[in-house]
Amino acid sequence: MFDHLWKKTVIFTLSAALMLSATTGVYAVPEEESDTDDSEAEEVAIIDEEGFPIIRGEMGITIDVETGEILYAKNIDKKAYPASTSKIITGLLFAENSDKEDVLSYTENALAQPSYSLNTDYGPIPLGYEMTGKSAMEALLIYSANDVAAMVGDHVAGDGESFVQMINDRFDEMGLENTSFTNASGTHDEDHYTTAYELSVITREALSNPWVEEVLLTESVVIPTPRGTVPWENARRKVANGDPVLVKTGYTPAAGRCLVAIYERDGRKIAGIVLNSEYNHGDTMVFEDMDRIMDWSFDEAERTPYFEAGDRVDTLEVEYRPLRFFGPVHTAEVPVTIQEEVLYFENDINEEEIHVAVELKDVSPFSMDPEEPVGTASIQEREAKESYAVYPEVSRGDILSNHIGLYIGTGLGGLIGLVALAGLIGFIIRFNGRLRKKRRQYPRF
């Protein structure tokens, strides 16, 4: 009996201890729970202290397609690997040199390409297998097939090396100094690189091509292979945008997750680039990055004044003679102003690179009028450029008023001279009159 009672007591004591322990674990330190909540709030912050969106990508940019103005910038000139976003230049050259009805043949160069590849993923594909231009463009841009990129290069230029030369020649035409490709697909190579900014230049040109645009707007495609068809959905479904959007993805371990895009809202187009972002299980992070900088660019980014109306932008030096055609030469420094507000997007790149160039006419101070322009001020932010008329801050009268003493002295001197001349003329007339009178009084014989 005692033993049984003792066992119950022990069991009760242990149960109570366990309950107390469990209770302590949940409720003992509410301050730590608050700290955890604060930490979680910080982890999901999407705007930094300066008001710019926070992204996981190491590099990112948004740029107005029409004006070339940079709205958002993060490491935009840093070297990066573009991975399969490289295929947009392959698609552009293909579109410019082929058509949908062309027939392409599967080559050894295509066969040698790694996954993503129709051959490695859904093959084998035999040499000589034929594909239409339409199917090849869809496999290139929607499925992102490396072997099709190689096949396109061989079709357009004859071989892979010649096609890569075509690509890099096109980059030279675009004025790109920090981009060089070694292949048509974006498979990793230390010498295959670009920057976020220069990839935005490529993106705007490539995605403006009608055929490339048409394919990237397609929701899904069906790609033929020798073993059957491969249905594939466009990655654009992963962005949260109700209006037209064009995207091309890329990934290698060295490049990270990459995305290029053009969003359109209310008739305005913005190009976006995110490079070296994270590749999570659901593949959402790079798309969240893109949505974040695009939403901010459309809805939050605002131009701020660089010049207010009436601000001075330069000084015009004018040489002139106050007496117009004779006398000493004087120099006047005329302030030049801009008569309208000049706006720009305030970010580190624009702050560092904005440049003002003023071109002034050869203007006479005798015709100077604050209502008439005397030149132009060109405001340039990398590739975005706008020109504004500039005006003198003073008029002809303001300049000439500095010489009132000279004009008064010259006027008085002139008046005295005229009086003296009149007196001299009067004297001569009187003298001649007396002389004639004497001659009449004393004629010669």
Q: Is 248 annotated as a binding residue?
A: yes
84 as an active site residue: the answer is yes
Catalytic residue among 87, 98, 238, 269: 87
Distance between terminal CA atoms of the chain? Answer: 191
Catalytic residue among 86, 117, 135, 144: 144
What is d(CA 67, CA 60) in angstroms, rounded to the nearest whole number? 18
**Preceding omega of 328 cis (within 30 degrees of 0):** no
**235, 225 in Cβ contact below 8 A?**
no
Tokens at 97, concatenated: 């040199």
Q: Which residues contact 385 (CB under 8 A, 6 or more apart)?
A: 68, 378, 379
Catalytic residue among 84, 86, 135, 200: 84
Residue type, 300: E
Residue type, 402: N
Beta pairing, strands 355-360 & 59-64: unpaired
**26, 243 in Cβ contact below 8 A?**
no
Q: Which residues contact 117 (CB under 8 A, 6 or more apart)?
A: 123, 145, 146, 147
220 as an active site residue: the answer is no
**377, 357 in Cβ contact below 8 A?**
yes
Name the percent of the chain in helix, strand, coil, to the closest 5.
45, 25, 30
Active centre residues (catalytic): 84, 87, 144
| Binding region | 248
| Binding region for substrate | 248
